Structure 1
Amino acid sequence: MKFDKSYFNFNHDLYLCLAYDPPAQSIYTKNLSTDILQLLEKDILHFKSKGDVLLCGDFNARCGNLLDFVSSDSTDHLPISNDNYPVDFNLNVRNSRDTTVDTRGKELIELCLGNQIRLLNGRTLGDSLGKYTCYNHMGTSVVDYLLASDSLMQNILYFNVSTFNPTLSDCHCKLSWKILSHHFLDIIPQPNSKVMGSKFKWQENSPQAFQSALQDKDSKNLISHFDTSSDINELAVKLNEILLTASKKCLRRPSPPKKSSRKIYTNKKFF
């Protein structure tokens, strides 16, 4: 899914991918002709050339506390100056309550290192400890991740692993996040919109009276011009006009509040 930079005022277009990689030992994985992480890496390379990348899903990978960036990276080790070498910036150390590392986890970390993609779990406001994301009969683990382009990290305001809810999933927790955007909606006032100023009293006979009012000549004329293919704002104005016209013909308005008859003497002496 593409989020246009001109609409959201991002520095680059944003491409979101929702992913699922079955367990490494599952029959489905064994029958695959291509590794899913390899397919993801090809897509990452393709879309990173167009903008920033954000991936979220169940990767069935346990990464423990492995670093997903090259610590103290620089170009000093290169024999010649190379401006095309992408230097990794030092990030906050990623925490995880799941310290187990499996083969899939190492592969996911290699994907991050090779493409400057970073894990948000365990280092972002809202999940500084790296909460468990999966609860099943085998125990607890962290296998669901949010991954982002290195250049997108500063725009991630919040990341949260919700408390496990068996109503929403068999064993996984919901992941949610917030991204900084500078999008503004230009609200154009509608010159033809009418606001129902006065209230109407709804009495015991009002339903029958209102239905009858909708059947009269004026109401039928308005209803006949109610075209559902029109703009939504225009439809709202027309619907309001139909209801207001019928209401004025059959419903009573509440009586205005009575003014107090008590006289107020402003110059009355109090001594």
Structure 2
Amino acid sequence: MGDFNSRVSNYSDFVANDENNINLTHILPDNYKSDFQLTRKSQDKIINPQGRDLLDLCVSAQLRILNGRFIGDLLGNMTFFSMKGCSVVDYAITSESLLSSVNYFIVKTPSYFSDHNQIVTHLKCDGKLPNINNINKKIDFEFKWTNTSKLLLENELNEKYIYMKN
């Protein structure tokens, strides 16, 4: 979420019609999941090289731009204003799997304090916090890499909670 200095216009951040394309069936893996196709609008009609890069990233990582897609910003309002013009360069981006958790996305009205409009998104959460009171792991601040270090590191990173105690 923030200023990406990318202009993506109305271009798609997903692969369109990939579920119906018979030419892709021999290329795609068996477990390929088709992109969820939710159209997006933008008042900015220009795409720049950084915008193309951002769209490529979104397509390859199944990320979706919230601007112009949700209640509060269905038109894809401008986020940047200057003497030279206005554009959409500030984005909130989420994984495709979290789209159902987005309640709304808003581009706030211009402010005298910035040439960028504030963007706000509201996500649904279950509100349950993990119980970390019973976690008491000692963290060593010196570490010597050995033959088993990779396995130990992977095990530690897979712990449900990572907790640091002074």
Query: Is 2:120 aligned against 1:173?
Result: no
- 2:65 paired with 1:65: no
Residue 103 (structure 1) aligned to one of 29, 40, 49: 49
Matched, 1:151 2:97: yes
Q: Distance in 1 between matches of 2:5 and 2:18?
A: 29
From the two aligned structures, give the one with the greater helix fraction. Answer: 1
Give the drift of 1:184. 5.2
Query: Are the structure 2 counterparts of residues 117 and 80 from structure 1 closer, same or farther at C-alpha, using a change threshold of 3 Å?
Result: closer
Instruction: Return the letter of the residue paired with 2:59.
Output: L
CA distance in 2 between partners of 1:111 and 1:175 (Å): 21
Q: Please point out which of 78, 83, 96 is paired with 2:30.
A: 83
Query: What is the rounded CA distance, in whole Å, between the counterparts of 1:68 and 1:61 in structure 2?
Result: 13
- Post-superposition shift, 1:137? 1.4
Residue 106 of structure 1, CA deviation: 0.9
Whose Rg is larger? 1
When normalised by structure 1's length, the TM-score is: 0.45
User: What whole-Å deviation, never above 9, does each CA across 1:145-197 have from its counterpart, x for those lacking one?
Assistant: 00000000000101000001022x2x100011110012158xxxxxxxxxxxx
Q: TM-score under structure 2 normalisation?
A: 0.71
Partners of 1:134 and 1:81 in 2: how far apart? 39
TM-superposed CA distance for 1:85, in Å, is: 2.2
Residue deviations 1:223-247, cap 9 Å, x none?
A: xxxxxxxxxxxxxxxxxxxxxxxxx
Structure 2 unaligned runs (5+)?
Answer: 130-166
Distance in 1 (alpha carbons) for counterparts of 2:85 and 2:27:
50
- Which residue of the partner structure matches residue 62 of structure 2? 116
Measured in 2, the distance between the counterparts of 1:83 and 1:178 equals: 35
Q: Which 4+ residue blocks in structure 1 deviate beyond 6 angstroms? A: none
| Aligned-partner SS, 2:52 | helix
Name the Cα RMSD after superposition. 1.7
- Residues paired across the two proteins, number: 127
Instruction: Write the distance in 2 (CA, Å) between the matches of 1:90 and 1:72.
Output: 8
- Of structures 1 and 2, the one scoring higher in RCO (CA 8 A, sep 6+) is 2
Secondary structure at the aligned position of 2:92 is classed as strand
Question: How much identity, in percent, do the aligned residues show?
Answer: 40
Deviations 1:71-124 (A, max 9, x none): 111274222773332321221x11001101111111111111111000000011
Residue aligning to 2:148: none
Unaligned runs of 5+ in 1: 1-55, 186-271
